[in-house]
Amino acid sequence: MKILVLGRGKTGALVAEFAKERGHEVRSLGSSDNQDGRGLTPEICRETDVAIDFTTPLAVIPNIIHCMESGVPMIVGTTGWYQHLAKVQELVTERKTAFLYGSNFSVGMNFFFKAIQAVAPALKKGYRSNIVEKHHIHKKDKPSGSAVTIQKILEADSGQRAEIASLREGETVGMHLVVLDSPHDTLLFTHDAKSRLGFAEGAVRAAEWIKGRIGFYEFPDVVDQV
């Protein structure tokens, strides 16, 4: 495929590298050549099979609008923009294109979400929940998108809204700790990312999956298929 990577940061660079290893033709646009989505010209969009976005909360919305209006399927790993989710879904439906987003593209993390969903009923049996997330000092959004996803999973089952503690330290890739505590025992669930390569691999596999499809998807719903 012809893949357009939006964002030349650490994760974007790994996405481009992994996509090339998978045999795809890759083009990248950084912030300097894509201010407000202006780098997404009709010519570039015509030559793109799928776009993968790992930018910033401010940059991602113009990128989404340009890609959807041009009919370019899109994978979005950027977080911090979910207040616009309903409007983006409307745009995807209106343009009859394909869009897949995720708070975390690590395959392991998405199975971690499923594990949390499996134990969430414990909150109806006297357990209380807390979430701790730790990331590198450069991360723009707080709390992390993954922590918010975990919070929603727990709340959907019990009605309890877990508190999230956010830490920013050094170059930490990403650690999430979920604590379910009762007077009798404590359950601890941890996902600790070793490198960003897991995010890159998941995003590229999602791009391969979405080609030829139409619709609005979230990565946890399709992780078993990529």
For residue 140, pLDDT beyond 90? no
DSSP 207: H
Q: Comparing C-alpha atoms, which of 195, 200, 147 is closest to residue 15?
A: 200
- Which of 66, 135, 176, 191 is catalytic? The answer is 135
* pLDDT tens-digit map of 39-90: 999 999 999 999 999 999 999 999 999 999 999 999 999 998 999 999 999 9
* pLDDT tens-digit map of 157-195: 889 899 999 999 999 999 999 999 999 999 999 999 999
Average pLDDT, whole number, for the chain? 95
Q: 154: exposed, middle or buried (C-beta count within 10 Å: 0-12, 13-18, 19+)?
A: buried
Report the alpha-carbon distance of residue 96 to residue 149 in Å, rounded.
Answer: 26
For residue 213, pLDDT beyond 90? yes
pTM of the predicted model as reported, rounded to 2 decimal places? 0.85
- Which of 139, 152, 184, 211 is catalytic? The answer is 139
Residue 176 annotated as catalytic: no
| Of 226 and 65, more confident | 65
Residue 191 annotated as catalytic: no
Report the alpha-carbon distance of residue 105 to residue 110 in Å, rounded.
Answer: 7
- Please compute the mean of the pLDDT values over residues 10-24 and round it to a whole number: 96
Report the alpha-carbon distance of residue 32 to residue 44 in Å, rounded.
Answer: 16
Q: Write out the H or E segment, with its range, that includes residue 201.
A: helix 197-210
Going along the chain, which residue ranges are E strands?
2-6, 25-29, 50-53, 74-76, 98-101, 128-135, 163-168, 175-181, 186-192, 215-218
